[in-house]
Amino acid sequence: MIIRNYEKKDWKRLNEIHDEARKIELNNAGIPDAYLSLEETYENEGLFDYELLVAEDKTGLVVGFVAFYEEEIAWLYVDPKYHRKGIATKLLSESIEKAGNHIFIEVLENNIEAINLYKKMGFTVVEKKTGKMVGNESFEVTGYILEYKKQ
């Protein structure tokens, strides 16, 4: 597994990964109708305002990505066909290493797998919050804000 910087040639795979994983995420949250594709949301949600890393398997296929900056991990998606193979952990580890000393992430309330991953990596829940879904404000959601403090 190689973690590297995003390149323009990765765009098609990012769309495929996000769109399949996001559908599962929103189904699990009980709001499948809130789904919007990456193509529909990346500009409004500022995807390219963040540092963007991709995970590439040994064949050169991009199988996941993370977008972050010093204080926030904003996007972390892995192709559902590659779940439970340590890819999210590797992407998260790399982003934690490159980010600042105090990092936040927001997670939908029912995204148990993601919450467990973040807790395993040292994040703690600091707030439960209900409000409009970022990127699709016609839906109200409940989620958690988790934080990570480097030692």
Q: What domains appear along the chain, each with residue ranges and CATH number?
A: 2-149 (3.40.630.30)
Residue pLDDT, tens place only, 12-59: 999 999 999 999 999 988 889 999 999 999 998 999 999 999 999 999
Q: Which 8-state DSSP code applies to residue 111?
A: -
CB 107 within 8 A of CB 118: yes
Percent of the chain with pLDDT over 70: 100
Q: Which residues contact 116 (CB under 8 A, 6 or more apart)?
A: none
Tokens of 80: 């559902």
What is the residue-averaged pLDDT of the chain? 94
CB 148 within 8 A of CB 123: yes
d(CA 5, CA 39): 20
Q: What pLDDT was estimated at residue 133?
A: 82
Q: What pLDDT was estimated at residue 148?
A: 96
